[in-house]
């Protein structure tokens, strides 16, 4: 069926007008209903109402468009255009189904349609549109004035109480903070009930309420109170902030505050001074022969100012058990530096006489100090800040200046009583050097075979000494036979002396003792064969213990590094000696001896003296047998307990949606307030959940704070893995043969 284009344009215009009318009358009320649903029921109600509104609007739009069809337009033309002769329906009928007279009439109507200028679109229903907008505004006003009812409290302190719609408002909130005088921080004012201030600050509240209560009190979380005093319209109170705390404002004769949660005051502790040593760079320095002074440089910083710095100088003289100490303390005068960047949350300080960063220089006169060869000078800086009533003191590490002693020779006049052949235990690096020099001197008189034999024998001595030192650096013995002291060694030369060798051994006396024990372990054999399946026997037969406590703590890291260098030189010396090249081995031997001497000079360790304070004994009770007030010692092993069981129960109750034991949780946290990372934050979160159990965000925040406090679960033993096909077949075979093998045992 073909429709005249002019008639199709008229139909579309009418359909669009009806759709616009539907939009003006239905969309504003739908939007207002959605806003009301959000205010009353939240996001869930909004989604439901919006879905229903979209469905209704879609239905109305489709119906408005489809109602403007051929029948509606024909009736509209017949009613508004007399020229249609009440025959407008012929314009929309199929031409093939019309008779001759109907076809003639249709042709006449098609010629008249082009001249139609009558408005056929529906008129605007302004009254309906105004009514729809008025309804939408009314619904929006209701949504704006709607207030969600407050939830009921369910904790042990307010089981049957209900939050009322009326509450007291804070019309003025002012906190004046006055920091301690030594911090030189200007007083400041905060317009909130929460603040951060230096420890020891005085906090003054100035509050106004509407309506006015008959009384007001600040209740802190530790149970202390501060009564607010009324002066006209203002309520004031003061409190010294000795530690971080939580508090709540309680009113008498007036409704509670609209926001009656716990407020937090954070006390910023005075940090101890920080000390940085610039010179010397190492904790142990060796005195140069031409050195007359020892230059020292330090830097110190503090958050509120440095009071003074003292340098403690200790002179250690003597050796062995005859070491004496002389100590003196001098005050250093430094120069001010630029203040370091303050940490977040630290209030800015005013200019004051006490600088917050200082640099100290001091040149120590060694001659005036009385330093002699073999002595040590130990220095230590102590920096004090301005904290009141007790200042903070920071002490630097101890730095040592050592004047090494000269290598002494104790062999004078003893050549006649020296043993000509000594055991390998006493062979030292100095003796190896003497043997090598003697071999080089006799080299011209020796043939190649004897030269190689003597050089190889010295190389064996070098190897034994290297292995003896290398045991303390994790090296293994290469063979048991080469450690046997019964094996012959190179003949001693007349130039060697027993005391020269013993002098070198003094530097490593403890090392040699451990080496002897290690060699005895290498040569030892089990008395009886180890039985299969016994762990101790297996370790004794095949194991090798190297983690000796004395070896692990005898030498420090620097000494071990020097010892490694000595071993490297011994390796090269042994290599050349085994090849019959004593000339090339001699420089490596001398360098190894120098490193060993450095190890010998690192034996003195300075420790700061600590006084031993013992209680004074009661002389009247000595030898009397009176045990009054004396109890038996408790064993060191204590029964295992789960300290965080209370927090675990609270965490499980939050996950299950039940009410935890809040009183027990708060008591547990207060008992460990100094050990927990953020005890005040946890207490404040518990208070928020107790007062508003329906707050999902509060419960999530509390759960996040409790998570680090939960007990660590005990380690469970791993289950034995299920056997595979071959393993199961093996177990079945064992079970099948078990009765037959048990019968003889039972008969015996």
Domain count, the chain: 5
**DSSP string covering 508-552:** THHHHHHHHHHHHHHH---SSPPPTT-HHHHHHHH------HHHH
Residue 130: inside a domain: yes
Peptide bond into 389 cis (omega under 30): yes
Number of residues that this document lists for the chain: 748
What is the number of other CB atoms lying within 10 angstroms of the CB of residue 521? 13
Residues 202 and 316 in one domain: no
What is the number of other CB atoms lying within 10 angstroms of the CB of residue 612? 5
Residue among 302, 327, 55 at smallest CA distance from 182: 302
**pLDDT recorded at residue 613:** 67
What is the three-state SS of 666-679? HHHHHHCCCCCCCH
Residues 175 and 101 in one domain: no
Res. 410: pLDDT tops 60: no
DSSP-assigned letter for residue 257: B
**pLDDT recorded at residue 739:** 62
For residue 111, give the 3-state DSSP assignment. Answer: helix
Residues 221 and 357 in one domain: no
Read off the pTM: 0.48
656-674 pLDDT tens trace: 888 888 988 888 888 888 8
Residue 137: inside a domain: yes
Domain that holds residue 181: 169-268
> Going by DSSP bridges, is the β-strand pair 399-402/376-385 parallel, antiparallel, or unpaired?
antiparallel
Residues 30 and 78 in one domain: yes
- Average pLDDT of every residue of the chain: 76
Give residue for tokens 């109602």. Answer: 67
Residues 133 and 190 in one domain: no
What b/e string do you get for 620-654 counting C-beta neighbours within 10 Å, with b at 16 or more? eeeeeeeeeeeeeeeeeeeeeeeebebbeebbeeb
Q: How far apart are the first and last CA of the chain?
A: 115
Residue among 487, 484, 486, 480 at smallest CA distance from 544: 480
Res. 6: pLDDT tops 80: no
**pLDDT recorded at residue 710:** 84
460-475 pLDDT tens trace: 999 998 888 887 676 6
Rounded CA separation 720/717 (Å): 9
480/577: higher pLDDT: 577
Residues 138 and 179 in one domain: no
Res. 522: pLDDT tops 50: no
Task: Name the helix (H) or strand (E) containing 276.
Answer: strand 274-279
Can you read off the two tokens belonging to residue 17?
């007008």
What is the number of other CB atoms lying within 10 angstroms of the CB of residue 593? 20
Alpha carbon distances (Å) from 136 to 49, 126, 132, 515: 15, 15, 6, 99
| Range with top average pLDDT, 189-203, 393-407, 529-543, 608-622 | 189-203
Residues 121 and 179 in one domain: no
| pLDDT tier at 117, thresholds 50, 70, 90 | low
Res. 610: pLDDT tops 60: no
Residue 360, strand partner residues: 298
**pLDDT recorded at residue 720:** 79
Residue 125: inside a domain: yes
Please answer whether residues 580 and 455 qualify as being in contact, where contact means their C-beta atoms are separated by less than 8 angstroms: yes
Residues 565 and 658 in one domain: no
Please answer whether residues 227 and 237 qualify as being in contact, where contact means their C-beta atoms are separated by less than 8 angstroms: yes
DSSP-assigned letter for residue 181: G
Residue 151: inside a domain: no
Residue 534: inside a domain: yes
Residues 590 and 507 in one domain: yes
Residues 436 and 391 in one domain: no
Please answer whether residues 314 and 285 qualify as being in contact, where contact means their C-beta atoms are separated by less than 8 angstroms: no
Rounded CA separation 84/73 (Å): 12
Rounded CA separation 124/21 (Å): 7
Q: Which of 268, 303, 333 is the last residue of a domain?
A: 268
Q: Which of 601, 632, 660 is the last residue of a domain?
A: 601
Residue 310, strand partner residues: 331, 382
- The whole-number average pLDDT for the span 24-52 is 80
Instruction: Tell me the CATH number at 213.
Output: 2.60.40
Residue 158: inside a domain: no
Beta strands in 185-256 (DSSP E): 188-190, 195-198, 201-210, 215-220, 225-231, 234-241, 245-252
> Going by DSSP bridges, is the β-strand pair 263-268/195-198 parallel, antiparallel, or unpaired?
parallel
Task: Name the helix (H) or strand (E) containing 557.
Answer: helix 557-578
Rounded CA separation 307/334 (Å): 11
Can you read off the two tokens belonging to residue 48?
């439901």
**DSSP string covering 389-444:** SS--EEE---EEEE-PPPPP---TT-GGG--SS--GGG--HHHHHHHHHHHHHTGG
**pLDDT recorded at residue 609:** 54
Rounded CA separation 650/692 (Å): 16
- The whole-number average pLDDT for the span 571-596 is 92
Residue 745: inside a domain: no
Alpha carbon distances (Å) from 226 to 168, 174, 218, 704: 20, 16, 5, 32
Rounded CA separation 281/296 (Å): 10
Can you read off the two tokens belonging to residue 277?
């040593």
724-744 pLDDT tens trace: 889 888 988 888 887 654 444
Please answer whether residues 396 and 381 qualify as being in contact, where contact means their C-beta atoms are separated by less than 8 angstroms: yes
Residues 260 and 130 in one domain: no
Residue 160: inside a domain: no
Res. 231: pLDDT tops 80: yes
Residues 482 and 448 in one domain: yes
Q: Is residue 660 exposed (0-12), middle (13-18) or buried (19+ Cβ within 10 Å)?
A: buried
Please answer whether residues 683 and 671 qualify as being in contact, where contact means their C-beta atoms are separated by less than 8 angstroms: no
Res. 14: pLDDT tops 90: no
- Which stretches of 69-125 are DSSP H helices? 70-80, 100-113
Q: Is residue 685 exposed (0-12), middle (13-18) or buried (19+ Cβ within 10 Å)?
A: buried
| pLDDT tier at 618, thresholds 50, 70, 90 | confident
What is the chain's percent helix, strand, coil content, to nearest 5?
Answer: 45, 20, 40
């Amino acid at each position: 069926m073909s429709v005249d284009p002019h008639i199709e344009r008229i139909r579309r215009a009418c359909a669009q007008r009806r759709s616009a009318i539907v939009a003006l009358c239905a969309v504003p009320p739908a939007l207002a209903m959605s806003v009301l649903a959000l205010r009353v029921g939240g996001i869930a109600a909004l989604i439901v109402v919006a879905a229903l509104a979209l469905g209704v609007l879609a239905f109305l739009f489709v119906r408005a468009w489809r109602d403007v069809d051929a029948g509606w337009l024909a009736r509209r033309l017949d009613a508004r255009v007399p020229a249609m002769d009440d025959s407008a329906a012929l314009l929309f009928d199929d031409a093939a189904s019309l008779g001759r007279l109907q076809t003639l009439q249709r042709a006449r109507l098609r010629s008249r349609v082009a001249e139609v200028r009558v408005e056929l679109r529906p008129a605007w229903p302004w009254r309906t549109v105004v009514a729809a907008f008025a309804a939408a505004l009314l619904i929006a006003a209701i949504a704006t004035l709607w207030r969600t009812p407050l939830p009921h409290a369910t904790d042990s302190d307010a089981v049957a109480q209900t939050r009322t719609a009326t509450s007291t408002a804070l019309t003025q909130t002012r906190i004046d903070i006055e920091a301690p005088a030594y911090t030189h921080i200007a007083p400041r004012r905060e317009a909130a009930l929460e603040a951060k201030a230096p420890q020891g600050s005085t906090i003054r509240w100035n509050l106004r309420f509407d309506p006015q209560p008959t009384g007001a009190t600040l209740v802190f979380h530790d149970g202390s109170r501060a009564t607010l005093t009324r002066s006209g319209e203002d309520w004031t109170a003061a409190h010294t902030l000795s530690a971080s705390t939580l508090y709540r404002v309680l009113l008498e004769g007036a409704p509670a505050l609209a926001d009656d949660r716990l407020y937090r005051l954070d006390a910023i502790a005075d940090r101890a001074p920080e000390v940085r040593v610039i010179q010397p760079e190492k904790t142990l320095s060796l005195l140069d022969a031409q050195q007359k002074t020892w230059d020292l440089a330090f830097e110190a910083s503090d958050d509120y100012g440095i009071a003074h710095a003292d340098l403690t100088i200790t002179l250690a003289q003597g050796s062995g058990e005859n070491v004496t100490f002389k100590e003196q303390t001098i005050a250093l005068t430094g120069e001010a530096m630029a203040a370091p960047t303050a940490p977040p949350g630290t209030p800015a300080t005013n200019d004051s006489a006490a600088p917050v960063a200082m640099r100290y220089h001091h040149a120590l006169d060694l001659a005036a100090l009385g330093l002699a060869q073999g002595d040590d000078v130990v220095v230590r800086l102590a920096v004090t800040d301005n904290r009141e009533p007790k200042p903070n003191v920071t002490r630097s590490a101890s730095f040592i200046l050592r004047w090494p002693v000269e290598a002494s020779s104790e062999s004078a006049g003893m050549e006649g009583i020296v043993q000509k052949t000594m055991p390998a235990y006493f062979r030292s690096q100095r003796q190896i050097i003497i043997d090598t020099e003697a071999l080089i001197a006799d080299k011209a008189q020796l043939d190649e075979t004897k030269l190689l034999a003597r050089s190889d024998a010295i190389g064996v001595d070098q190897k034994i000494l290297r292995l003896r030192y290398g045991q303390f650096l994790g090296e293994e013995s290469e063979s048991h036979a080469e450690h046997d002291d019964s094996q012959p060694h190179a003949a001693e030369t007349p130039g060697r002396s027993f005391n020269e060798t013993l002098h070198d051994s003094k530097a490593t006396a403890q090392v040699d003792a451990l080496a002897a024990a290690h060699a005895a372990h290498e040569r030892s054999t089990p008395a009886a064969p180890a039985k299969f399946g016994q762990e101790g026997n297996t370790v004794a037969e095949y194991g090798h213990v190297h983690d000796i406590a004395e070896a692990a703590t005898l030498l420090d890291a620097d000494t071990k590094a020097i010892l490694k260098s000595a071993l490297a030189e011994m390796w090269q010396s042994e290599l050349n000696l085994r090849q019959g090249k004593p000339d090339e081995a001699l420089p490596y031997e001398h360098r190894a001896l120098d490193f060993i001497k450095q190890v010998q000079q690192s034996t003195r360790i300075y420790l700061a003296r600590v006084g031993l304070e013992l209680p004074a004994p009661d002389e009247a009770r000595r030898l009397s047998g009176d045990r009054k007030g004396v109890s038996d010692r408790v064993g060191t092993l204590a029964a295992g307990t789960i300290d965080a069981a209370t927090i675990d129960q609270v965490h499980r109750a939050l996950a299950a949606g039940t009410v935890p034991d809040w009183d027990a949780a708060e008591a547990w946290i207060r008992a460990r307030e100094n050990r927990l990372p953020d005890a005040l934050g946890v207490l404040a979160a518990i208070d928020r959940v107790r007062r508003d159990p329906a707050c999902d965000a509060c419960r999530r925040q509390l759960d996040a704070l409790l998570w680090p406090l939960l007990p660590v679960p005990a380690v469970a033993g791993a289950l034995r893995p299920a056997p595979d096909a071959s393993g199961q077949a093996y177990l079945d075979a064992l079970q099948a043969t078990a009765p037959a093998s048990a019968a003889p045992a039972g008969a015996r």
